[in-house]
Amino acid sequence: MSGGVDSSVSAYLLKKQGYDVVGITMCLGVKESGRKRPTCCGPEAIKDAKKVCNKLGIPHYAMDFSKDLEKGVIDNFISEYLKGRTPNPCVDCNQNLKFGILLEKARLLGFDFLATGHYAKIEKGSILKRARDKIKDQSYFLYSIKKDALKSILFPLGNLTKNEVRDIARSAKLPVADKPQSQDICFIPGRNYHKFLSERINKRVKRGYILDLNNNILGEHKGAFFYTVGQRGGLGIGYKEPLYVLAVDAKKNQLVVGEKKDLKAKALVAGRVNLFVEKLPKETHVQIRYNQKEAKCKVFLRDNSRQIEVVFEKAQEAITPGQSAVLYDNDTVLGGGVIDKVVRR
């Protein structure tokens, strides 16, 4: 329970259905004297979660996951940027923390299920599907959960819209019914990536060249780690057409830029594959970023199923190494992987 309306309504609905519910808040960081650590799920969030639990008449506990956040999410976040990739920490958090370590703790404590306020569905104990509310759907971030874990997870909001969740919270007089939803990554308040990366990467940030597709030098960047594929602003280059980042070469500390038409690619290769099905269909759909429309494609398993090759029916823009490629059959999540390579020609 994060102290927000979604997890609060999830707890309310489960209790109403007759479950024996306990609220757990994952404390992911606290301020320590003389040391910089991420601060999230702070005192106010814990206080709000406790208020809801008191209202529902259920126990509430806060558990320290700050070290797990560092090891299971932030270390990879920094490592990926150092490689010139753009990671998705929510995917790692779901895989390693929420539905990894926390789920295992819940099982050891004798609980039957771990429930969260995610907008997604689990059917027949092993089928992950999109939520009814397609705008709020979070199945994209959940593809990396191990198939065996699905039978121990509940998503009570899967068949509700956000507006309906708010209405339920108001009807139940939950104290967080109208609490605004945070858009921040939990360990980067204000979405200030540059500040966070500068503090963590420190002396490794160096200026370098910005090149076009013919290796002509067009200008200088402020540190390759601060840019992502598809980015348009912040290049500081005057050119006849708008320029976009096509690739980040961390080893050479260079950016490759081009026009919008150059962003398109026909295929990708993804690693860290997790599948919910034994056999993938020859043709399906893939989503390459959260909130981006899925695209029709063909999929091929490579390297003993450790990689997937995705070939698009129509070339796609801004395919970004480090982001996830998630496969769908209608509303059913087939699996996915982390994008390693972009094939432009």
78, 33: one domain: yes
Which range among 97-106, 195-204, 230-239, 269-278 shows the weakest confidence by mean pLDDT? 195-204
Position 203 confidence tier, pLDDT thresholds 50, 70, 90: low
What amino acid is encoded at 174 in this protein?
Answer: L
Q: Indicate whether 334 pLDDT > 70.
A: yes
Residue ending a domain, among 191, 224, 239, is: 191
Position 38 confidence tier, pLDDT thresholds 50, 70, 90: very low
- pLDDT score for 41: 60
Segment 204-211 mean pLDDT: 88
Structure pTM? 0.92
Give the CATH number of the domain where residue 310 resides.
2.40.30.10
Segment 11-37 mean pLDDT: 79
Residue ending a domain, among 168, 191, 214, is: 191
43, 148: one domain: yes
- pLDDT score for 297: 97
74 in a domain, yes or no?
yes
Domain that includes residue 98, residue range: 5-191
122, 268: one domain: no
124 in a domain, yes or no?
yes
145, 251: one domain: no
330 in a domain, yes or no?
yes
Position 120 confidence tier, pLDDT thresholds 50, 70, 90: very high
- Catalogue the active-site residues: 93, 186
11, 113: one domain: yes
182, 234: one domain: no
pLDDT tens by residue, 210-250: 999 999 999 999 888 889 999 998 888 888 889 999 999 98
42 in a domain, yes or no?
yes
Segment 327-342 mean pLDDT: 97
- pLDDT score for 37: 47
38, 171: one domain: yes
- pLDDT score for 284: 97
162, 28: one domain: yes
79, 212: one domain: no
Give the CATH number of the domain where residue 76 resides.
3.40.50.620
Give the CATH number of the domain where residue 230 resides.
2.30.30.280
- pLDDT score for 221: 92
Tell me which of 199 and 133 has the higher pLDDT: 133
339 in a domain, yes or no?
yes
214, 186: one domain: no
Segment 149-177 mean pLDDT: 97
Q: Indicate whether 18 pLDDT > 70.
A: yes
Name the domain count of the chain. Answer: 3
25 in a domain, yes or no?
yes
274, 147: one domain: no
DSSP-assigned beta bridge partners for residue 35: 32
198 in a domain, yes or no?
no
- pLDDT score for 184: 67
199 in a domain, yes or no?
no
Helix H, strand E, coil C: the string for the chain is CCCCHHHHHHHHHHHHCCCCCCEEEEECCCCECCECCCCCCCHHHHHHHHHHHHHHCCCEEEEECHHHHHHHHHHHHHHHHHCCCCCCHHHHHHHHHHHHHHHHHHHHCCCCCEECCCCEEEECCCEEEECCCCCCCCHHHHCCCCHHHHHHEECCCCCCCHHHHHHHHHHCCCCCCCCCCCCCECCEHHHCHHHHHHHHHHHHCCCEEEECCCCCEEEEECCHHHCCCCCCCCCCCCCCCCCEEEEEECCCCEEEEECHHHHEEEEEEEEEEEECCCCCCCEEEEECCCCCCCEEEEEEEECCCCEEEEEEEEEEECCCECEEEEEEECCEEEEEEEEEEEECC
Q: Indicate whether 39 pLDDT > 80.
A: no
173, 117: one domain: yes
- pLDDT score for 6: 97
